[in-house]
Amino acid sequence: MRFRLTKRAERLYRKAPEDVQRAFDKQVALLAENSRHLSLDAKKYKDTYQARVTLAWRFYFDIEGDCYIINAITEHP
C-alpha cells in the first residue's frame, strides 16, 4: 500500500518535534507494509482510523483504494 499526507497533516508534521517526526516516519512505513503491526495499535476511530506514533502521539488516516491518506498527526489527550 502507498500513503500520502494531506496539507493539514504535512503542516502538523513540520510542527511536531523531531523525535516525533522520526517515529512517525517509522510507523507510517510499518503501516504501508503491514497495517496489523502490533506497534501501530491501529483501530477504527469514529469515521477514520487511528494509529500510534508514540505513547503520546497518534496519527489519523483514511483508506482510499490502495492508498492510506494521512489526515493528522496530533498529541494524544
Residue 33 in this model has a pLDDT that exceeds 90: yes
50-71 confidence digits (pLDDT tens): 999 999 999 999 999 999 999 9
**How many CB atoms neighbour CB 48 within 10 A?**
13
> Where residue 29 sits, what CATH number does that domain have?
3.30.2310.20
User: How many structural domains comprise the chain?
Assistant: 1
Q: In what order do the strands lie in the sheet with 43-45?
A: 2-5, 67-75, 57-64, 48-52, 43-45
Domain that holds residue 51: 2-75
pTM: 0.92
**Which three cell numbers, joined as nine digits, stand for 62?**
483514511
